[in-house]
Chain A
Amino acid sequence: MNNKIIFKTGLALASLLFVFSSCKKQLEIEPRQSIEATTALSSKDAIDASIASIYSSYKSARLYGRDLIAIPEVLADNGFATNKSGRLLNEANNVQGAHFTGSVWSIAYASINQINNTIAAINTGGITPKPVQADLDRWMGQLLFLRGLYYFNLVEVYSYIPGAEVAANDKGGVPLSVTGIATSTDALAWKPSRAPLADIYAQIVKDLVDAESKLTFPGLGVNLANKAAAQALLSRVYLYSKNYTESKKWSDAVITLASSKLATTANYVAQWRGETHTETLFQVRFATPAENIGVNESLQTSFTTLVTPGNQASTGGFGDVVPTISMLNDLGITLTGGNTASVYALSHTVASRSTDVRNLMFEPGTAGRGNIKVECTKYIGKNGTINLDNIPVLRISEAVLNRAEARATAGSPVLDLAGALTDLKSIKSRRYTDYTGSAAETDDNAMTQAQLLEEILRQRRIEFAFEGHRFFDLKRLGRDLVKGPHYNNVAFTDTRILPAVPQSEIDGNPNLKQNVGY
């Protein structure tokens, strides 16, 4: 070939490639397991999928997957940390900083933003195929219920509860937003302060009341939001904020709707062994093996070493948290050697039990992780696989105890000791095999208001043992954490009642106030 031709060809080829290089198309590449955000929420399926993700976040071990259930037990007086894996040890010891983590904050706000963006997408009306009213009610009912519950989780964890504040340590509620953030400009500009506690509770109530009006019962079933769940949560939120009239009102509503679900002494154990407890109004469901939290942090592993009830030969989890002596006393369990605790680390088995069927949820674990302890078996792989359990969030018996407390609390506008006693008995008769007609019943009939309230609270402790209520119940009542003989007591005025707001939020935002002591 002629040199010149080659030269020209070479140059032509090179310049062609130069042109090609500036072609933008060549740099185009699309992700496959994600899609463009701006058009993601444009179909009915997309809205349903978005809502699924909001429920799914509740499965996190930082929320109902473990922390919202296990940490309230150890921070308060129910749980003793066995140190079998080393987990929850510092929480049980109330070490400063060992508390709920910043993940409650980040996961809850991610879900709230998802809710806000989904509501915005629904409201733009650009959804295809066009949703009918039933779709809108189903979506909005669930989204508002979930937003109410997430804000409730945030504010019960990071703030004081109305009517039980320590003024010197009170920094208010949490940041409040009901509009979605969908651009980085908005996200960078978002420097919130903590909204007043009252504003947060008002928003929770507003969302739940709206949700209640849009939802039905049994409606979508107990794995999803439903009317009874919204009512039960309203009953709890009002009880926490000491609005006893409204708490009773919503308790009345849900008891009317669902009191038939109350378990009895005859079926109590069976209910906890089945996938879904009949009393459940709302639970977080774990269905497939892929949803399994696993051997480190599931509730089963946190609370028991057993794989199946009664089989001490097979060790599964760690059994990191077991009932304290005072919890065992309330449960009516006496250990071999008595309920003393000079060195609570010794192996223990059950010497005797009261007639309370609830203590059947507690039994000796295995020797596989060290000394045998009496452990809680409410979560024991009920869904068919080890470490896979549905987690009840709202049960009908809570509404009964909420109403009892609303009626029995001194100064309550709906003070009604007889009614409170009736509510208390409706629980006790379903829990103690020999309660009706017993001496205990006679004693209960003679209780003063103060005694009645204490008994209601004691029953609440037993009924919801290892279900994540205890710390919040003590906190909303402004009570000290009495942790002897295992640990030192923590006064309600102590800064360790509140966890730290994530430090990174404080570092990046001068408007946001950290809780005291961090």
Chain B
Amino acid sequence: MRKVLSIFLCMVLACSSVLAQNRTITGKISDETGKSLEGASIQAKGSKTAVVTKADGSFTIQVAPNTKTLVVSYVGSEKTEIALSGQSVYTVSLKKKADPMEEVVVTGYQTRKKRDESGAISSIKAAQIENRPNASLDKALQGQAAGVLVQAANGLPGGAINVRIRGQGSYLAGNDPLYIVDGVQINTRSDGNFTQNNPLAFLNPDDIESIDILKDAASASIYGSNAANGVVIITTKKGKAGQTKFIANAYAGSVQMMKKLEMSNSQEYFKMRAEAYGNANNLPWNNLAVLQTVLNELRVPNAATLNQEQALVIGLTHLPTYDWQDAAFRNGSIQNYELSASGGNDKTTFRIASNYSSQEANITKADFKRAGTRFDIQNKATDRLTLGTSINLSTFNQNNPFATSGSFLGNPAFSASGLIPVNPIYNPNGTYYGVPGQTPANLIGTLNQNIIQVNDLNSGYQRTNQMVGNVNLDYKINNWLTFKTLVGMDYRLTQGKNVRDSRTPDGFNFKGNVFVQSNWNTNINTYQTLNFNKTFGTKHRLDGLVGFEMRRENNESITANGQGFPTYQFTSLNNAATPASVGEFYTGFRRNGVFGKVNYGFDRKYLISVTFRRDGSSRFGSGNQYGIFGGVSGAWNIDQENFLKNSKVISSLKLRGSYGSTGGDQIGNFDALGLYGGGGIYNGGSGISYSQLANPNLKWERNITTNLGLDFGLFNNRVTGSLEVYNKETRDLLISQPIQSSTGFSSITSNVGRLTNKGIELTLGGDLIKSTNPGAFNWNVAFTFAYNKNEVKELYGGLKILPGDNSVQVGQPLGVLFTQKFAGVNPATGRPMWYDTLGNLTYQVLAKDRKIIGPQNIPLYQGGLRNSLTYKNFTLDFFFQYEYGRYTSDGQANFMMENIARINVLKEAYDNRWTTPGQITFFPRYHVSGTESKGSSAQSGSRTFFKANYVRLKNVSLNYNLSPSILKKSGLSSVRFYVQGTNLWTASDWFSYDIEFVGSATGIVPQTKNYTAGVQVGF
């Protein structure tokens, strides 16, 4: 249609130029709501002819006959062009100009406009995280905000996520930020015994309206004690007045292995094992005794009677290879269904949303199923009184994998790659090979459990029922003073059961081994605030609040273990012959605080705000329970100054600065106390022992942050961005201070240390291609970059290295890799070598040879790049994330590159092993003991650490919105189709399953590739 119009237009213009006469154009200009705009300027494009609209929005302009376009501009609105056609009367409604500075951000206990806010706050909107196959919201934050590092610990759906805002600010105290969902402080304990349970999985990420991350101390200090690691404020979607809107959304897809490891085959395994025996016994690998030994191990019948030729033929050609990875890994499915209704009238608004989500891991039997319902109701009881409640009910059920991580023989994620490939999976009759009660009763090799049987027969689940809700009340005392109160509760019951089936190796000798767990966590917080907001004259504006908050959390659990079941069909503890153990556990904490904040703004140009909070925590010594925190921040909206008001280049510019302190108390709930606890049992009696020394001096850890920020918008806000520079200093660092263990204790929790995090964060966004024509091609990019340098500044007693943990060193980042440097394999002997203190080569590492290799915990640089392309009704989003500058060791890979040949190794390791003098390689010769005589293990020192840099295409999504004309006919208000892909591509030379993990990757369920397709319908 549009095309036809423009062709027509061209024709008309072509004609008019021939006529060469002035034309009179009239029209009317209004805003989006239809209100007439006075003073809008109308200009003939390419000429100086211009007029302004009258009070009723009307205008009349004379233009040259060759004028094709009129340009309409109005303060605060987007510049719009009118393509002139044959007619002479035009009515135009102007779109309000998108001004990022006028967006609302949620700060502590307040919502404010970005222009009025002086702290460092990152905001994420619903559109950025919608419809991703993420079980929990923390995963959705990945790469979205500068300086917020999100690392998945593994690929378990609903599994643990590591979130660090501006580096690692603490050693002993936790580094997790404070999460607040609609005013409720969420407990971040993970209390599941049998599979990981992510405390944030209760909320369907699609119910989130916005996430605001308070990064600097001045913003966060309103949350005082809990805020040392930043605050993540989550606001859920709410109802709006109007006709009730229904939105149904469904997507489904597949979970696939990102990478299968290329392992050695049975022939290669045979040869490496023979070399391992040969090298250890100073014999050639093809020595008959060696060959017989290996074939005998591999269960070749009558191996001891073979001659050398026969043995070689069998070993190098006859052994079958079975692919255990193919058997253990699967393609899982993802399904997600949501239905919401929202609406209301001018008194009451509501939103009700339900969701069901199911996600399978790519390995049996791990999965995650969640059903949830949310209710949000707001009611204006009177002009002054508003009542509201939000309640989120959810239940999620997870099938346990055999193990969530670790080198357990039955753990398929661990063993599938390392199993000696000559092991069959099934017997010829279809039953499992190598299981207890048969001959043979296990598999060949160190990894001797049939993981397929183990995972098929073992069972277990973990069910979490969680209620997070709040009741809130706002009372407008007068036009500038409001009293707000909120009572929130986060109640969670986690129950689980784990069955080691009596037919599997771990249950066989016990005749079944069953564990159950029940854990309940009650977390209540409430706050009351008086919020004020007053304007004096036309330019002075004062707003802020004073308030009080308290929080209490209790956590209790009971566990039991029974053994000896009559048959495998019985798994209830009722049927156990032996009640092997019972347990009960309790912990909890209390906090309270008073706080206040005052923001003063002059003419929306000059802003200053002051924050104060006094907090108490039950975790500290009786004399030190209270800490005082606060901050000052200021900002200058330079763009409001006259000299910039009419700038064509700079459309917004703001300079911010802040200084403030926050506190940390994420230590054990009772770390300050001197305690006697359980001391084991002996001879039928239960013991007690001195478990912890008192530290009455234990006090708050304090983070002092200085932050400088610059927010800018250029070329009509076509390019926007912000730059932050910060220095976060942690004083009174909570450290588990090692003491001489000859005291009978290993450490006490103390405040003895200082560290800093210094960094730069950059957020850049812009329209690479922007068309004023609706439906034309647009390309928007958003880029985040963060650099953080962590440094330990001081330890107690002048110590340079923390005794007991040499990854804590003055002048180095926390968790620095301090070990002996690997020097490669001696080309002459095939033995691994390291550098000693003098830089000489040595076979044997000593403590004194350790040196600093590099940072280990947190990358130096990280961020993301989002692209959003729209054309007509299509939107294509793709999002990259990257990390650079840390070393890590992949426990799984370390097993896969051993030189022992006790388990199978990576084909790359086998192909590059040392075999001949003169060979330069990374992989030492095989040796059945792993460690050569008078030498160190090949896995010592820095050999197993590698740079963990990567760029990953995290998400791609393609959306298609049905055009309004079609919708009209169908009676629907919106229809969107979308397809998404997650983890589609990674640039990294990591040689194990996946580079994205935290901690040791040994036996973890690796991250997966996900493909989903869905549809969202509004009616």
Contacts and interface: CB of A to CB of B under 8 A. Distances in A.
Do A and B belong to a common assembly?
Answer: yes
Interface of A: 3, 6-7, 10-11, 13-14, 17-18, 20-22, 24, 26-29, 31-38, 40-41, 46, 48-57, 59, 81, 83-86, 89-90, 93, 95-97, 102, 105-106, 109-114, 117, 174-175, 177, 180-184, 186-188, 190-192, 223-224, 285, 287-291, 295, 307, 313-316, 342-343, 345-347, 366-371, 385-386, 487-488, 500, 502-505, 507-509, 512, 517-518
Given A504-B741, A508-B738, 18 more contacts: A6-B384, A14-B547, A21-B550, A33-B586, A35-B675, A35-B677, A40-B676, A55-B687, A110-B741, A114-B744, A181-B744, A288-B581, A314-B441, A345-B293, A346-B289, A346-B292, A367-B440, A369-B446
Given A27-B625, A52-B687, A21 B742 contact: no
Given A10-B530, A285-B683, A371-B296, A507 B902 contact: no
B292 A40 contact: no
A289 B688 contact: no
A370 B446 CA distance: 8
Contacts of A503: 847
Contacts of A502: 741
B308 to A, nearest CB: 14
A505 B803 CA distance: 7
Contact of A40 (B688, B799, B931): B688
27 contacts: A6-B477, A11-B530, A14-B548, A26-B590, A27-B616, A27-B618, A31-B670, A37-B694, A38-B674, A41-B676, A52-B683, A55-B687, A56-B687, A109-B741, A109-B742, A112-B744, A224-B683, A290-B581, A342-B283, A345-B293, A346-B296, A346-B304, A504-B804, A505-B740, A507-B804, A518-B846, A518-B847
A439 B297 CA distance: 42
Contacts of A508: 738-740, 799, 803-804
Interface in B413-466: 436, 439-442, 444-446, 448
Interface string B228-262: 00000000000000000000000000000000000
A313 B439 contact: yes
A153 B680 CA distance: 20
Contact of A35 (B297, B676, B742, B931): B676
Given A113-B690, A343-B283, A52 B674 contact: no
B82 interface: no
Given A40-B676, A105-B741, A114 B689 contact: yes
Contacts of B584: 33
B190 to A, nearest CB: 20
A418 B745 CA distance: 51
B546 interface: yes
Contacts of B446: 84-86, 369
A113 B481 CA distance: 61
B673 A36 contact: yes
Interface in B976-1019: none
B859 interface: no
B741 A505 contact: yes
A368 B900 contact: no
B937 interface: yes
Contacts of B617: 27
A177 B589 contact: no
B684 interface: yes
Contacts of B738: 504, 508
A174 B740 CA distance: 13
A347 B591 CA distance: 65
B289 A110 contact: no
A52 B675 contact: no
Contacts of A48: 685
Given A29-B590, A50-B689, A488-B934, A346 B293 contact: yes
A381 to B, nearest CB: 9
B440 A289 contact: no
B928 interface: yes
Contact of A177 (B678, B682, B742): B742
Contact of B297 (A6, A110, A370): A370
B685 A31 contact: no
Contacts of B578: 289
B548 A21 contact: yes
B528 to A, nearest CB: 5
A505 B740 CA distance: 6
Contacts of B546: 14
A70 to B, nearest CB: 17
Given A13-B528, A31-B675, A35-B676, A86 B900 contact: yes
Give the interface residue-count category, chain B.
Answer: 35 or more
A10 B296 CA distance: 85
B588 interface: yes
B307 to A, nearest CB: 16
Interface string B710-744: 00000000000000000000000000011111111
Nearest to B737: A188
Interface in B905-936: 928-931, 933-936
Interface string B265-302: 00000000000010001010001011011001101000
A31 B619 CA distance: 11
Contacts of A38: 674
Contacts of A316: 509
A295 to B, nearest CB: 8
B618 A342 contact: no
Given A187-B693, A505-B741, A17 B528 contact: yes
Interface in B940-985: none
B43 to A, nearest CB: 52
A284 to B, nearest CB: 9
Contacts of B693: 37, 182-184, 187
B687 A49 contact: yes
A285 B590 contact: no
A177 to B, nearest CB: 7
B625 to A, nearest CB: 6
Contacts of A509: 740
Contact of B803 (A6, A93, A223, A504): A504
A56 B694 contact: no
Contacts of A500: 847
Contacts of A56: 679-682, 687
Contacts of B445: 370
B562 to A, nearest CB: 9
A17 B740 contact: no
Interface in B588-613: 588-594
A24 B592 CA distance: 10
A81 B680 contact: no
A506 B686 CA distance: 34
A192 B681 contact: no
B440 A31 contact: no
B563 interface: yes
Contacts of A21: 548, 550, 592-594, 616
B533 interface: no
Leading 5 A-B pairs by shortest Cβ distance: A53-B679, A113-B744, A53-B687, A56-B680, A508-B803
Given A33-B677, A96-B844, A508-B740, A7 B594 contact: no
Contacts of B563: 289
A48 B804 CA distance: 33
B691 interface: yes
Nearest to A114: B689
A319 to B, nearest CB: 12
Contacts of A59: 680, 682
Interface in B534-591: 546-548, 550, 561, 563, 578, 580-581, 584-591
A386 to B, nearest CB: 5
B862 to A, nearest CB: 32
Interface in B640-691: 669-670, 673-691
A433 B299 CA distance: 38
B748 A187 contact: yes
B106 to A, nearest CB: 22
Contacts of B746: 106
Contact of B587 (A6, A31, A290, A307): A31
